[in-house]
Structure 1
Amino acid sequence: MASSLALGHGGPVGTSTASSALLLSRAPLRDAPPPRTGARGRPWRAHVGPDGAHVLFAGDLYDRDSLRQALPSAVAGQDDAALYAAALAHFNADCDSRINGYYAAICWYPDERRLRLARSPINAPPLHLWTDRGRVVAASTARAAIAAGADDALNEERLADALFLNFRDCRQGWYRDIDRVPTGEIVWLDPEGARRRRFWTIRDLPSVRLNSDDAYVEAVSAEMAKGVQEVAGGFAKPATQLSGGLDSQAVASFTLDFLPDDATLKAYCWVPQAGFEPLDWPAAHGDETSLAHAFATMHRRVELEFVDTGDLPLTHQEDKIFMLTGIAPMGGGNMHWGHEILRRAAAAGHGVVFDGGFGNNGFSYDGLTGPATWMRQGRIVRAWREIGLLGGKRSHIARFFSHAIMPQLPIKLRQRLRRLRGKTPDPFESWCPLRAGFAEDHGVLARSEAVGHDPMFLDLPSAMDWRAATLAMGENDGADITLAYELLYGVPTRSPLAYRPLFELTAGIADDQYLREGETRWLARRMLKGRIPEQVRTNTSFGIQSSDWPVRFNRERAAMLDEIASLSNDPRMAQMFDLPRMERNLREWSGKNSVGGPEMALIFSAVGRGLTAARLMRYRDRRNG
């Protein structure tokens, strides 16, 4: 379906419409994008379902054949909007629980003056909602609501929470009066008001118990094959992101199974730019070249292309991201290689780019919550044994206390103990750019505590807690960024590992399939034997994203110092951001990274995110001015 207001089509913003965007407005639009941005009339119309619902659908449905077979009559139409409309008319309130896909849907019942909004579980296109005295706008971008009359004032509470890495409030938007529809939620609006219902949460998933270790490998392999087939089925000429990790190589391997025998698979692998200095750190690696090359050597149908972003600035495409999303991306320091991969994929005519998202909290989970879980279950010997086999620099008993006992304690007590021991740096002295006083006065700390956000990121007591926390981190801002990429380059990004039956299966499997005899990611390592190179399958070091950040930040250090000096003259900026700390740390920085050192927190996180947030605020001021 066309993008909201066709942002990006045919103008300087980008080159294409997006299949993952939609717009419904029951209010006249004002301040619509001028012709120079490529705005044009919508090239789509709503599908009218059997029950009279006018359905706007963004994204993709999966398992279409089985869904059609479950319906009592033939579907009047071939596209996913028609199929969704038919399923909604038949299954009613249970519709979204019965279907699989990556989608957002707006359904308008004109006779009842009733609106129904829904987003698929786990991963979905964005959906924003604004209501005001009988006026309603539901759209893929907050910008559409602003064009219809919503207040375009930035929600600085949301901005401050994001800088504190608190993403737990999944309904809060980046603009004061514009809400979000979370994944796995349905919203109804009628003359009586609004109602919301979560039809899917990870905590409601059933436990999965199979007869043997091999049965888990077989079941997950089958669902992964099905997931890649379903996700890839609607696209021509897929490409993939490739790293040296298990997730992206699993996706690439199963994609090769799906493709015709004579077809090749383009794989894009980001590599650090000239001047990158690898750390002397066996536990991590910053260059994926050799591991990606090993996969391409093993699979001759893979066309491997290394992506060096060269001297792209830290602000590359930043204003366009601000315009299309209205947010300050906390992962902005990692976005340059995403831009470059999609630019190349678009030039090469690829219909979609796959990534390995949702692997770490799915099939390749490391199982490290196992000891705490087994401790609660009374399996103390099992917990003790696994911690011993995992190894580490501290004593066995110290590690047992940290990983099996401490996660059982109340989080506030654990935080207090960590502070007393001096083991965890204060966020306001390390990775968070906010002033501590601002965070206190403006409720950042209170909201964080109220929703259970832990700024120390201590070990969680269960796999379900960990998965819930990681899903919350990306379900909204991540969706906005994904859509912005698609609007800019015309190539969608999809995550086959978020295929709902696959994710639900892996989330229900107990920790002992993920951690066994001291081997983390045990399930993934077994199922990928013979599919990926052994040096990748058995590798226990982790990849560092944007490992060349010291090169990039050092190159622009003088400009960033000038920017901080300029911000210091703005009372609003000086009140919110700890600019003296940012300036001091940037000026005194050695220009390098170190193992276990504070540089990444002080520079990449605090300075990088702080300046991104300040630029968004100034961008909004310019737009409003």
Structure 2
Amino acid sequence: MGDFAGMWRLDGRPVDEADLTRMAQGLDGRNVAPARIWRSGPVALVHRRPARPFTPGEARELQPLTGASGAVLVADSHPGALPILTALERRGVDGVLEGLCGSFAFAVWQPSERRLTLARDGAGFRTLFLHRSERLIAFSTRLRALLSLPDIPLDLDEHALAASLILDQSQPERTIYRAIDRVPMGHVAVLTAQGTRVSRWWSLPRPGTLRHRNDSEVEEHARQVLDTVMDDALQAEGPVTSCLTGGLDSSTIVTTALRRLGPRRLLAVTRVPDGPTPGDTACNYHDESPRASAMAALHPGIDWYPISGDGGDWGESDARRWHLEGGQPTGASVNIAWFFPVYRFMEGQGSRVLLGGEQGNGYFSYSGLSLLPELFLGLRWGRLAGHLLALARNEGRSAAYFFKREVLRPFEPLSWRMRRLGRGPSPWSSHSALNPAFTREIRLDQSLDTGRYRQRVDGGHHSTFEARRWLLCDETARDVRGVLRAMTGMDLRIPLADRRVLEFFGSLPLDQFLRNGVTRSLARRLLAGQVPAETVGNRTAGTQNGDWFTRLSAARPAMIADLARLRSSPLARRVIDLDRIQGLLDHWPRDAAAAEPRRREYFHLLTRGLDMAGFLAWRESANN
């Protein structure tokens, strides 16, 4: 495990010592060991592992690793790199990928064939960036390492900048730099002196392709998959910590971990608000600790800690630190910084591995509601009517409500939806601070894939496959995770995004998830008897950062000062609607209750807009 970088000089020149130093420094982070380097003429690989291994056996993996065939491997992977190299020597790259599970990004140089291969896992929780020009190939798990190389141009891609700010996930291979691409998740890139071939090696499964005889068989198979994945996730030096929110996904992580740990104890943490929160609604609650506490009370093997703000500082509140570490705007640094007290608590407990329940709602705990438009398209109206009536009975709403929301909504033209909801002339207007003049200049409305982007504005999609693909392909969030590890020294593991989980739950028929008017039915059945009844029957969603308005209000004077400074940046003025941001800062809500209905504007549009403007001004000053 650990970050890596490498380069291949296609002009045949030996790799320069200064470039090796730059790449090694670009891989720096909290509690990271010195770089280890392999080089041979025009090719070099650099790896930096954690100073203290995350998993048993990792200390023996002194990367770069060289196989009997002469192949040289660097990998950021869990489980480790040695199994990848062993399989590579026996079966080749295709054979490795076919059987490889867990989260990984790797690069392998095969000198006998003069071939470089780069690959990422299907869920993409390890990043991998790539530059290719006439004279140079360079790659790294950290964007920062590539930005340090003088031979790589740093021109910004304006369309990718806009996509980043409007949260468009439809072109995952692009970064905000014209000369740097991503190796997309689930893809492999094969590079030779003659060219580059990028191909998909793993695809999302299609629902309904896996059948069982009965529900008991489904549930038993599901537990086996979860247990197998959890055994890998629990491999750690020192105690493992799990997030506990009281929701279905985090509760599944905790109960499965307890089952596999046996007599060993599990640390569980819940981030609690530090200030006033708006009142709970029929859809959301803002403090997850009561549900987490009830869950912990059921299981004596849990050591549960509610975590509040600690006054510490690892640089999480400094926007420039995020820009420097990540090489791009993070967009969500205010959100991510809220969790840093958790990481500092873990360090005090000697824990460096955190289990999270992300990605569960697309597969493991899928709602199943996309079954309804599929039944509509398939003219299976009798079954559709049965599901609508069952939902109405169970949720206390009319069948017409669910027909309109779940069946008709995915087919509603996006322009109609925007007008009906009063969200402005463009689908991104309600949550993005892009300057309208800039969007016209780059013709954003013509390049946007509205068929996929409709999901960003809660427009739904009639295809389960497309809906799941959209949920999975947020590359910007993956980029931030790499930066987060560098800043905290913690390894975040997402068991519910493991390939084995995605393949099993993603292949099940949709009626496993929508059953008798109950959404997320399979997850509820699996958890019954293991968690509080309130959790199993819960229909509302926990909201992280429930105290967001309190924290944003404290930062308001600094944001006003930042905005005044940013007005001197021509690039920031061109891309960002600074006047709109000024209006939000000038007309501040009176309290948390008044702010919550405008959360989209203040917590997302305002903070992301200022972050992007600050990044653009920073890049502009660096170029000058």
Residue 72 of structure 2 is aligned with which of 43, 54, 67? 54
Give 1:396's aligned residue.
Answer: 399
Correspondence 1:157-556 to 2 at 5 A: 157-202=159-204, 207-261=209-263, 263-274=264-275, 276-309=276-309, 316-391=317-392, 396-407=399-410, 409=411, 414-422=413-421, 424-426=423-425, 427=427, 429-449=429-449, 452-454=452-454, 455-473=456-474, 476-556=475-555
1:173 is displaced (CA, Å) by 1.7
Answer with 203-212 or 341-350: which moved more: 203-212
Equivalent residues of 1:22, 1:58 under 8 A apart: no
In structure 1, how many angstroms separate the alpha carbons of the residues matched to 2:147 and 2:204? 33
In structure 2, how many angstroms separate the alpha carbons of the residues matched to 1:22 and 1:532? 49
In structure 2, how many angstroms separate the alpha carbons of the residues matched to 1:230 and 1:506? 18
Give 2:99's aligned residue.
Answer: 98
Answer with 378-387 or 250-259: which moved more: 378-387
In structure 1, how many angstroms separate the alpha carbons of the residues matched to 2:82 and 2:604? 45
Give 1:88's aligned residue.
Answer: 88
Identity %: 25
Q: Secondary structure at the match of 1:353?
A: strand
Instruction: Please give the TM-score of this superposition, normalised by the length of structure 1.
Output: 0.86
Task: Tell me, yes or no, if structure 1 residue 559 matches structure 2 residue 566.
Answer: no
Give 2:578's aligned residue.
Answer: 579
Q: Secondary structure at the match of 2:589?
A: coil
Equivalent residues of 2:157, 2:176 under 8 A apart: yes
In structure 2, how many angstroms separate the alpha carbons of the residues matched to 1:310 and 1:249? 25
Give 2:598's aligned residue.
Answer: 599
In structure 2, how many angstroms separate the alpha carbons of the residues matched to 1:59 and 1:514? 31
Q: Deviations over 1:494-526 (max 9, x none)?
A: 011122112211011122111112211100000
Instruction: Please give the TM-score of this superposition, normalised by the length of structure 2.
Output: 0.86
In structure 2, how many angstroms separate the alpha carbons of the residues matched to 1:560 and 1:23? 46
In structure 2, how many angstroms separate the alpha carbons of the residues matched to 1:385 and 1:583? 51
Counterparts in 2 of 1:283 and 1:26: CA distance versus 1, 3 Å: farther
In structure 1, how many angstroms separate the alpha carbons of the residues matched to 2:132 and 2:451? 25
Correspondence 1:12-31 to 2 at 5 A: 14-17=30-33
Counterparts in 2 of 1:591 and 1:613: CA distance versus 1, 3 Å: farther
Answer with 521-530 or 487-496: which moved more: 487-496
Q: Secondary structure at the match of 1:540?
A: coil
Counterparts in 2 of 1:487 and 1:596: CA distance versus 1, 3 Å: closer
Answer with 590-599 or 182-191: which moved more: 590-599
1:332 is displaced (CA, Å) by 2.3
Counterparts in 2 of 1:547 and 1:6: CA distance versus 1, 3 Å: farther
In structure 2, how many angstroms separate the alpha carbons of the residues matched to 1:378 and 1:595? 45
1:234 is displaced (CA, Å) by 4.7
In structure 2, how many angstroms separate the alpha carbons of the residues matched to 1:383 and 1:25? 64
Q: Secondary structure at the match of 1:520?
A: coil
Equivalent residues of 1:243, 1:269 under 8 A apart: yes
Q: Secondary structure at the match of 1:229?
A: helix
Q: Deviations over 1:353-383 (max 9, x none)?
A: 1111121112111112121122223321222
1:593 is displaced (CA, Å) by 4.5
Equivalent residues of 1:307, 1:337 under 8 A apart: no
Q: Look up the equivalent residue of 2:381 and give its one-letter code.
A: I
In structure 1, how many angstroms separate the alpha carbons of the residues matched to 2:41 and 2:206? 35
Q: Look up the equivalent residue of 2:453 and give its one-letter code.
A: H
Counterparts in 2 of 1:219 and 1:22: CA distance versus 1, 3 Å: farther
In structure 1, how many angstroms separate the alpha carbons of the residues matched to 2:468 and 2:514? 16
Q: Look up the equivalent residue of 2:123 and give its one-letter code.
A: I
Q: Look up the equivalent residue of 2:292 and give its one-letter code.
A: A
Equivalent residues of 1:185, 1:200 under 8 A apart: yes
1:571 is displaced (CA, Å) by 2.6
Give 1:39's aligned residue.
Answer: none
Equivalent residues of 2:3, 2:76 under 8 A apart: no
In structure 1, how many angstroms separate the alpha carbons of the residues matched to 2:494 and 2:131? 29
Answer with 518-527 or 558-567: which moved more: 558-567
Counterparts in 2 of 1:312 and 1:552: CA distance versus 1, 3 Å: farther
Equivalent residues of 2:323, 2:615 under 8 A apart: yes
In structure 2, how many angstroms separate the alpha carbons of the residues matched to 1:24 and 1:612? 38
Equivalent residues of 1:23, 1:138 under 8 A apart: no
Q: Deviations over 1:96-130 (max 9, x none)?
A: 02221211110101132211111111133111111
Equivalent residues of 2:208, 2:510 under 8 A apart: no
Answer with 477-486 or 464-473: which moved more: 477-486
Task: Tell me, yes or no, if structure 1 residue 110 matches structure 2 residue 126.
Answer: no
Please tell me the root mean square deviation across aligned C-alpha atoms, in Å. Answer: 2.9
Answer with 331-340 or 544-553: which moved more: 331-340
Q: Look up the equivalent residue of 1:176 and give its one-letter code.
A: R
In structure 1, stretches of 5+ residues that fail to align are 34-42, 62-79
Counterparts in 2 of 1:81 and 1:418: CA distance versus 1, 3 Å: closer
In structure 1, how many angstroms separate the alpha carbons of the residues matched to 2:308 and 2:517? 36
In structure 2, how many angstroms separate the alpha carbons of the residues matched to 1:443 and 1:53? 46
Equivalent residues of 2:188, 2:200 under 8 A apart: yes
Counterparts in 2 of 1:23 and 1:106: CA distance versus 1, 3 Å: farther
Counterparts in 2 of 1:319 and 1:596: CA distance versus 1, 3 Å: closer
In structure 2, how many angstroms separate the alpha carbons of the residues matched to 1:597 and 1:388? 33
In structure 2, how many angstroms separate the alpha carbons of the residues matched to 1:176 and 1:286? 40
1:280 is displaced (CA, Å) by 4.2
Counterparts in 2 of 1:524 and 1:169: CA distance versus 1, 3 Å: same
1:183 is displaced (CA, Å) by 1.2
1:580 is displaced (CA, Å) by 1.4
In structure 2, how many angstroms separate the alpha carbons of the residues matched to 1:518 and 1:596? 34
Counterparts in 2 of 1:386 and 1:444: CA distance versus 1, 3 Å: same
Counterparts in 2 of 1:365 and 1:423: CA distance versus 1, 3 Å: farther
The number of aligned residues is: 584
In structure 1, how many angstroms separate the alpha carbons of the residues matched to 2:209 and 2:413? 29
Equivalent residues of 2:371, 2:511 under 8 A apart: yes
Counterparts in 2 of 1:219 and 1:327: CA distance versus 1, 3 Å: same
Q: Deviations over 1:292-315 (max 9, x none)?
A: 101111111211111212668996
Counterparts in 2 of 1:420 and 1:7: CA distance versus 1, 3 Å: same
1:91 is displaced (CA, Å) by 2.6
Counterparts in 2 of 1:352 and 1:315: CA distance versus 1, 3 Å: closer
Q: Secondary structure at the match of 1:122?
A: coil
Counterparts in 2 of 1:267 and 1:130: CA distance versus 1, 3 Å: same
Equivalent residues of 2:242, 2:266 under 8 A apart: yes
1:600 is displaced (CA, Å) by 0.8
In structure 2, how many angstroms separate the alpha carbons of the residues matched to 1:342 and 1:446? 43
In structure 2, how many angstroms separate the alpha carbons of the residues matched to 1:534 and 1:315? 37
In structure 2, how many angstroms separate the alpha carbons of the residues matched to 1:215 and 1:97? 26
